[in-house]
Amino acid sequence: MPVQYYIFLSIALFCIGIMGVLMRRNAIIIFMCIELMLNAVNLLLVAFSKMWVDAGRIDAASAQLFVFFVMVVAAAEVSVGLAIIVMMYRNTHSVDINILSRLKN
Amino acid sequence: MGIDMIIFTVLSAIAIAAALGVILSKNPVNSVLCMITCFVAIAGHYIMLNAQFLFVVHLIVYTGAIMVLFLFVLMMMNLNADIEPQKRNWLKYAGAISGGALLLVLVAALRDASVPAIQSGAPTDIGLISNLGKTLFTSYVVPFELSSVLFLSAMVGAVVIGKK
Amino acid sequence: MIHLVWLVPFLPLLGFLINGLGRNFLPKSLTGVIGSGTVLAAFVISLLIFLDVRQPGFAPQVIALFDFISVGSLHIPFAFQVDQLSALFLLIITGVGSLIHIYSTSYMHEESNESFARYFAYLNLFVFSMLILVLGANYVMMFIGWEGVGLCSYLLIGFWFKNISYNKAANKAFIMNRIGDLGFLLGIFLIIQQFGSVTFMEVFEKVPAMGEGSGVLFTIAMLLFIGAMGKSAQIPLYTWLPDAMAGPTPVSALIHAATMVTAGIYMVARSNVIYSLAPHIQAIVAVVGLVTALLAASIALKQNDIKKVLAYSTVSQLGYMFLALGVGAYTAAVFHVMTHAFFKALLFLGSGSVIHAMGGEQDIRKMGGLKKWMPVTNFTFLIGCLAIAGIPGLSGFFSKDEILAHAWGYNKIMYALALIGALMTAFYMFRLYYITFSGKFRGTHEQEHHLHESPAAITLPLIILAILSVIGGYVGLPEVFGAPHLLAEYLSPIFAPSVPYLHAEHLSHGLEWGLMGLSTGLVIVMIFIARGKFRNYEDSGAENTGIAKVLENKWYVDELYDAIIVKPLMVLSRFFQDVVERAGIDGLVNGVGAGVKWGGRQIRLLQNGQVGFYIFAMVIGMIVLFVISLFL
C-alpha cells in the first residue's frame, strides 16, 4: 500500500483542523481542532516509521517514541489550555475568542 | 483490494467524516463526541501500522483523558448550541476556502513524492512495549525525564490558573 | 643648508599658530614681532639656500618629508623641490613678505588686539601656503598651496568682515578662483591619468615622448592655464582682483600684487615643457595675456580710487607676464614677476601710506599736493611710477623691454599692441601720481590738518623697496649692453628642456636699440602729456561721456557677467528653491512621511487583536510560501 494514502489522509485531517480553527469562534472547538492537527501529524509520523521499518531500517521505530512525546506535550498543553479557557469563561462568561481582542479589560 | 486496503478505507472515511463533524456541528458536545470517534479511527490506523503501544496510549491519553477533560469542561460551562458564538458568514467561507487551498497545495506538492511503499510481512513487533521501552529508557531517557518535569509544571500551572 | 628648507615654510606656520591661538592674550608688540620675525627668519634661510643654489651646476634637489598619498601605483610624497626657480620665488616671497609684515605692524596698529593678531595669523598662513606652493615638488603639493593662498586671500579680503560689501568681494574672489581651480584640478587628474605621477621631474621627463602637438598635452596645458587664469586674474576671470582691494592695503600689496597673483605665472613657468610642446595653447596664453593687459590698462585710465588704479595696473602687468610666457620668453616672465613684485609692492605700500595719512580716504580727486607733507612717500612713489612706466635705468624698463622684444620676435602686431599697453601704463600711472601728489589739496580742512609723513615702520619698507625697484633690473641686462644676463643664466637649467621647441627670432642689435629707443621716447612723451594734463588737476565734477564713461565703468564687464551668468544662475537657483526643493525634494520627503503615516494607520488595523484573523493570515502566508517554494 503506497504511503501516499497516509500522506493524503493526514493532509486532509490537518486541513480540516485548520478550517475548524478558521471557521469557529468557540475557543474549545478551536482547541480541539489543534488537537486534530497534532493527531494528523502523529499519524503521518507512525506511517513513515512503518515505511522505513519495512524498508529495512529497524531504528526507524523510534519515530513512534516521537509520537509518544507529542502526546505527552499535548496532554500537558491541554491541561493548561483548558484551565485558561475555564478562567476566561469565568471572567467573561463566554468562550468567544474575539472577546479577547484587547490586552486590557 | 486486500483486506488491509478495505480496513484503511473504512477507517479513513470514519476519521474524515468525524473530523468534519467536529468543525461543522453546532453543538459543542457533538463536536467532542465526533472528535472521540475520529481519535478511535486514528487509533485503528495505529494498529494497522504496527504501533500497538501507541494505540493503547492514544486511546487512554487522548480518548480517555483529554477528550473527557474537554467534555467535562464543556459540561461544566453548560455550553450548548444556543450560546455558540457565530462567525460572520463570509469569514466562514474565507476560512473554508483557505483551508481547502492549503489542502490543494499540499496534495499537489506531495502527489509525486517518491517514497517507499508500506509492505506487509515485515517484522511486526517494533511497536511492542518491550521494544519501545528499551529504546525509551536507553536513548531517550533524558527527554523522558524532562517530560515528567513538563507534566509537573503543567499540573502546577493548571492548578494555579484554575484556582484564581 | 638645503636640508633645512622645510624650516622656510614652517616658520611662518609656527607664527600662524602662535598668533592665531594666542590672539586673545598676546600684546600687539609681541604679535608683530612674532609675525614679522618668523618671515624674516624664513627670508634669512631662503637667502642662504639661494646662495647654495646659485652655484653653477647646481642640480635640483627633492627633499621628501613623508608619504602624502599612496594609492596603488600612485605615490604622492610630501616633498619640497629646491631649484633655481623655487629659490628665486622663495626670496621674493619671504623678502617682500617680511617688508610688508614690518609695514603692517604700523599700518594696522589701530586695530584691536585680537584682530591685529588675527591679521598677522592670516598673513603668516598666507606666506606658509605660498611657500608650499612654490616649494612643492609635485602638482598636488602645488595645489595644496594654491588652495591655501586662495583661502588666505578670501580671509584677508574679508578681514573687516562686518562690512557686507567687503564680504561680497571676498566671496567673489573665492568663487572666481574656484572656477580656475576646477581647471587646475582637472589638469592634475589628466596628468595622473597620463603619466601616473604628479612629481614635476617625472612628469617633465615623460612629456617630450608625447611629441609636439599632442592633443592630450593641449588639454593639460589648457586646463592648467584655466587654473592660472583664475589665480592670476586674466580674462575672463579677472574681475575679482579689483574688488579684492577691499582688504587692508598691505594685503593688496603682498597677496594681490607681489605674490599670490603670480602663482599662475609660476605654474606655467614650472610647466614650461608642457607649454612649449603645445604651441597653440601658448598662442592662446599670449593672446589672453595681451588682451588682459590692454583691457585692464584702458580701465585704469579712468579710475579714481587710488587702489583700483593699482589693481587694474596689476591685472595689466600680469597680462604682460602671460604674454611673455605665451611667446616663450619664460625668463622674461619670471624677471617681470620679480621686478613687478618690487615696484608694485612699493606702489601699494605707498598708496597705503597715503590712505593712512588721509584717514582712510581712497578717492584721488579728494587728494592733491601731498608731496608737501609726505616727502618720503612722494619720492618713493615717484620711483615706483618711473619703474612701472619703464624709464631706462629702473627695473621695470629692463623686464618690460625684454617682454616687448620677445613679442616683436613672435608677432609684430602683438608688439604694437603691447607697446600701446605700455604707453597707457605710463599715462595712468603719472595721472595717478600728479593728481595725488601735485597741485592743490582738495580734501577737507580736517584732513589737511591731519596730514603727516608716516612713521619709520612704513617709510623704511618703502625706501628698501624703492632701492630694489631701481637696482632690481640689473640682474637682467639686455644683450646689447654687453653685460651678461645674470637671471637668464641662473634660470637656464629650468627652461633648458623647452629650448629645442622654441623658435625665437633673434633680434639684431640695431633693431633692439631701435625698439628700446622707440618705447622710451614714447613713454617719456606720455609722461609729459599726463604731467601737462593733471599737474594742476581740479575736480570739475562733470560726468564722463562716451568712451571715457565706458572706461570708468570698467567696460561694463561686471554688469555683463551679472547679466549673463549671475542673473540666470539666480533665476535657476530660485527655480530650484521654489519648485524643485519645495515640490520635488520636500514633496518627496513629506510624501514618504505621509505615506508611512497613512500606511501605518492602515496596517495598524491588521493588528485588531482577533486571534482568528491572525491565524487566517498565518494560513494565507503558509499557502503563499508553499506555492512559492514548490511551484515557482
CA torsion sign, C154 to C157 to C163 to C168? negative
Residues C128 and C222 sit within 8 Å (Cβ to Cβ)? no
Highest mean pLDDT among A32-46, B66-80, B150-164: A32-46
CA torsion sign, C176 to C178 to C182 to C183? positive
In the DSSP assignment, the letter for residue C68 is: E
Residues B8 and B69 placed together within one structural domain of the fold = yes
Total domain count, chain B: 2
Whether residue A105 has pLDDT greater than 70: no
Residues B76 and B133 placed together within one structural domain of the fold = no
Using only C-alpha atoms, chain C has a radius of gyration, in whole angstroms, of 29
Residues C92 and C261 sit within 8 Å (Cβ to Cβ)? no
Q: How far does the CA of residue B29 sit from the closest CA of chain A (Å)? A: 10
In tens, the pLDDT along C418-460 reads 999 999 999 999 988 988 888 888 877 777 777 888 888 888 8
- On whether residue B72 sits in a domain, the answer given is yes
**DSSP codes of every residue in C117-184:** HHHHHHHHHHHHHHHHHHHBSBHHHHHHHHHHHHHHHHHHHTSSTTSHHHHHHHHHHHHHHHHHHHHH
Report pLDDT for B34: 92
In tens, the pLDDT along C452-493 reads 888 888 888 889 989 988 888 888 777 777 677 788 888 888
Asked whether the beta carbons of residue A71 and residue B122 sit closer than 8 angstroms, the reply is no
Cα B154-A35-B69 angle, rounded to 5 deg = 55
Report pLDDT for A102: 64
Report pLDDT for B17: 94
Residues C351 and C307 sit within 8 Å (Cβ to Cβ)? yes
Contacts of C345 (CB under 8 A, 6+ apart): C96, C99, C100, C253, C254, C257, C258, C465
In tens, the pLDDT along B54-69 reads 999 999 988 888 888 8
Amino acid at C213: G
Report pLDDT for C17: 92
- Closest CB to C616: pick one of B98, B106, B109: B98
- On whether residue B52 sits in a domain, the answer given is yes
Distance CA C128, CA C624 (A): 70
In tens, the pLDDT along C278-287 reads 888 888 999 9
User: Which residues of chain C are within 8 Å of residue B108 when distances are taken between CB atoms?
Assistant: 630
Report pLDDT for A90: 84
Q: How far does the CA of residue C610 sit from the closest CA of chain B (Å)? A: 12
Whether residue C146 has pLDDT greater than 70: yes
Asked whether the beta carbons of residue A98 and residue C615 sit closer than 8 angstroms, the reply is no
Other CB atoms within 10 A of residue C531 CB: 14
Residues B4 and B60 placed together within one structural domain of the fold = yes
Return the CATH number at B12: 1.20.120.1200
User: Which residues of chain B are within 8 Å of residue A61 when distances are taken between CB atoms?
Assistant: 126-127, 131-132, 135
In tens, the pLDDT along C163-205 reads 888 888 898 889 888 888 999 999 999 999 888 888 888 888 8
Output the average pLDDT for chain C.
86
Report pLDDT for C401: 86
Residues B75 and B3 placed together within one structural domain of the fold = yes
Residues C358 and C364 sit within 8 Å (Cβ to Cβ)? no
Asked whether the beta carbons of residue C609 and residue A100 sit closer than 8 angstroms, the reply is yes
Grid coordinates 493570515 are at which residue? C617
Distance CA A85, CA A96 (A): 10
In the DSSP assignment, the letter for residue A96 is: B
Report pLDDT for C204: 86
Distance CA C79, CA C137 (A): 5
In tens, the pLDDT along C226-243 reads 999 888 888 888 888 888
Whether residue C505 has pLDDT greater than 70: no
Whether residue C606 has pLDDT greater than 60: yes
Q: Would you tell me which residues 12-71 of chain A have a C-beta closer than 8 angstroms to some C-beta of chain B?
A: 12-26, 28-29, 31-33, 35-36, 39, 42-43, 46-47, 49-55, 58, 61-62, 64-65, 67-69, 71
Residues B10 and B73 placed together within one structural domain of the fold = yes
Report pLDDT for C504: 64
Residues B136 and B69 placed together within one structural domain of the fold = no
Report pLDDT for B85: 56
Residue C14 confidence class, pLDDT cut points 50, 70, 90: very high
Report pLDDT for C68: 87
In tens, the pLDDT along C114-128 reads 888 899 999 999 999
Query: In this complex, is the C-beta atom of B96 within 8 Å of any C-beta atom belonging to chain C?
Result: no
Q: What is the mean pLDDT of residues C557-574?
A: 86
Asked whether the beta carbons of residue C616 and residue B106 sit closer than 8 angstroms, the reply is no
Whether residue C325 has pLDDT greater than 60: yes
In tens, the pLDDT along C49-103 reads 998 888 887 888 888 888 888 888 888 889 899 888 888 999 999 999 999 999 9
- Among chain B residues, CA nearest to A81: B158
Among candidate residues C160, C132, C168, C161, the one with its CA nearest the CA of residue C147: C132
- On whether residue B5 sits in a domain, the answer given is yes
How many beta-carbon pairs under 8 angstroms link A with B?
239
CA torsion sign, B111 to B112 to B114 to B117? positive
Residue C608 confidence class, pLDDT cut points 50, 70, 90: confident
Among candidate residues C139, C148, C214, the one with its CA nearest the CA of residue C183: C139
Residues B2 and B76 placed together within one structural domain of the fold = yes
Amino acid at B57: V
Residues B19 and B38 sit within 8 Å (Cβ to Cβ)? yes
- On whether residue B9 sits in a domain, the answer given is yes
Distance CA C92, CA C100 (A): 12
Length of chain C in terms of residues written: 632
Residues B144 and A73 sit within 8 Å (Cβ to Cβ)? no
- Picking from B80, B96, B115, the residue at the C-terminal end of a domain is B80
Asked whether the beta carbons of residue B105 and residue C612 sit closer than 8 angstroms, the reply is no
In tens, the pLDDT along B29-56 reads 889 999 999 999 999 999 888 888 899 9
Residues B71 and B140 placed together within one structural domain of the fold = no
What is the domain extent for residue B159?
128-164
User: Which residues of chain B are within 8 Å of residue A62 when distances are taken between CB atoms?
Assistant: 135, 139-140
Residues B3 and B74 placed together within one structural domain of the fold = yes
Report pLDDT for C490: 84
- Closest CB to A64: pick one of B66, B132, B158: B132
- On whether residue B136 sits in a domain, the answer given is yes
Lowest mean pLDDT among C6-10, C487-491, C551-555: C551-555
Residues B3 and B60 placed together within one structural domain of the fold = yes
ipTM of the complex: 0.89
In tens, the pLDDT along B79-128 reads 665 555 565 677 788 888 888 888 888 888 888 777 777 776 666 677 78
Among candidate residues C385, C356, C389, C386, the one with its CA nearest the CA of residue C373: C356
- Taking CA atoms, C471 is separated from C84, C327, C496, in Å, by 20, 26, 27
In tens, the pLDDT along C201-216 reads 888 888 888 777 778 8
Bridge-based pairing state of the strands C74-82 and C61-71: antiparallel
Report pLDDT for C289: 92
In tens, the pLDDT along B77-90 reads 876 655 555 656 77
- On whether residue B28 sits in a domain, the answer given is yes
Residue C597 confidence class, pLDDT cut points 50, 70, 90: very high
- Picking from B80, B97, B117, the residue at the C-terminal end of a domain is B80
Residues A101 and C610 sit within 8 Å (Cβ to Cβ)? yes
Among candidate residues C384, C257, C361, the one with its CA nearest the CA of residue C311: C257
Among candidate residues B53, B52, B55, B22, the one with its CA nearest the CA of residue B37: B22
Amino acid at A69: F
- On whether residue B56 sits in a domain, the answer given is yes
The SS3 of residue C196 is: coil
Question: Residue C201 belongs to what H/E stretch?
Answer: helix C200-210
Residues B73 and B6 placed together within one structural domain of the fold = yes
Asked whether the beta carbons of residue C619 and residue B102 sit closer than 8 angstroms, the reply is yes
Q: What is the mean pLDDT of residues C137-142?
A: 90
Q: How far does the CA of residue C581 sit from the closest CA of chain B (Å)? A: 48
Residues A19 and B132 sit within 8 Å (Cβ to Cβ)? no
Prediction pTM value: 0.69
Q: How far does the CA of residue B46 sit from the closest CA of chain C (Å)? A: 28
Grid coordinates 599670490 are at which residue? C260
Whether residue C541 has pLDDT greater than 90: no
Residues B68 and B135 placed together within one structural domain of the fold = no
- On whether residue B118 sits in a domain, the answer given is no
- Among chain C residues, CA nearest to B108: C630
Asked whether the beta carbons of residue B69 and residue A82 sit closer than 8 angstroms, the reply is yes
How many beta-carbon pairs under 8 angstroms link B with C?
23
Distance CA C300, CA C296 (A): 6
